[in-house]
A = this chain, B = another copy of it.
Amino acid sequence: MKKATTIRARFVETDQMGVVHHSNYVIWCEAARVEWMRDQNLSYRELENDGISLAVSEFHITYRQAVLFDDAVDVFMEVTEFRSRRMAFAYEIRHSDGRLAAVATSVHIPTDTDGKAVRLPAKWFELFSQLSND
């Protein structure tokens, strides 16, 4: 897996249990996808501007060690499946000392601006196919 980004847990992301609420990890994985692409010269913003979204069709997450306010966690990720009509990613969210906070997977379907499933345009298919997990 490649390190995609480091995220600092915001105060608003905590809940009354005193830890980061589980819903925020879903958002952190999304932020990681954007940074992981940027790091390889691929812009999710441009993809969106081209009228293509990578709609999330499935998400699975297992929580391991709670994340506290102000913790800085690293999100690692890799492509686990890549086709013109379906992509999948795996994630590890780790504390700065390496302890696993969570592991997750997501499946995505390229869609047009009407939300209709489409084949990833050739230009983007090629760009995505050059993404590396290393």
Contact = CB atoms under 8 A, between A and B. Distances in A.
Interface of A: 8, 10-12, 14-19, 21-23, 26-27, 30-31, 34, 43-45, 48, 53, 55-63, 66, 69-70, 111, 113, 115
A63 B113 CA distance: 17
Question: Interface majority SS on A: helix, strand, loop or mixed?
Answer: mixed
Contact of A19 (B11, B12, B59, B115): B115
B48 A69 contact: yes
A57 B100 CA distance: 13
Given A16-B18, A115-B19, A70 B56 contact: no
Max chain B CB contacts within 10 Å: which of A21, A27, A56? A21
Given A10-B31, A30-B12, A45-B70, A61 B63 contact: no
A8 B11 CA distance: 17
